[in-house]
Structure formats: C-alpha cells, structure tokens
Amino acid sequence: MNLDELKLEIIAKIIATDDVVLLNKIQEIINDYESSSLINEPTTTFEKIRVFSAEEKRKINLAIQQYENGECISDEEAQKEIQEWLED
C-alpha cells in the first residue's frame, strides 16, 4: 500500500465512524504531531547568542577556579547535606 492509498483508507475510516472518543483521540494525535513538528523546525537565519555580563563572567571564572582547586563537593555530598539540613 502506498502513501496515498494509506491516507485514503484512513480518511474513509474517519468518515465512516461515529465514535466521538476515537475522533477526539485522532484529533489529539494530530495536534500533538503538529506541535512537535513546529518545535523541530530548523532555526531561522539567525540564532540568539547569550552574552554574559561582566559580573556573570566573574562568577563563572570564580566557579571554574574553585573547581580546579578542588574547592567543591560532589552532587551526592551536596544532596546528603541538603537532606540533613531539611531534617533539622
């Protein structure tokens, strides 16, 4: 069965049905597909570029230095500390 035949078969079944639940489900599937298709469209001729302020750059560089100097804890340790803090 080719694409055109498949489309016609589906359209015929849709026309033949009086099942409102089925028709609503078909409409939902089509709407979801259209929404996801819009999200995946290629970007236009330009992309927005995030420019950091001087203060943001300073904080990022400080965080990188702290990481390189081992002045950090793992996510697991942080979660443990947060859990202990919440329990107090």
Provide the pLDDT for residue 44.
Answer: 58
Q: What is the pLDDT of residues 6-55, one digit of tens each?
A: 888 999 899 999 999 999 999 989 888 877 765 555 555 666 788 889 99
Provide the pLDDT for residue 46.
Answer: 62
Is this prediction's pTM over 0.75?
no
Provide the pLDDT for residue 65.
Answer: 93
Provide the pLDDT for residue 7.
Answer: 87
Contact yes or no for 72/66 (Cβ under 8 A): yes
Phi first, then psi: what are they for 71, rounded to 5°? -90, 55
Ranges of each domain in the chain:
3-39, 54-87
Provide the pLDDT for residue 45.
Answer: 62
The token pair that represents 26 in the structure block: 């078909």
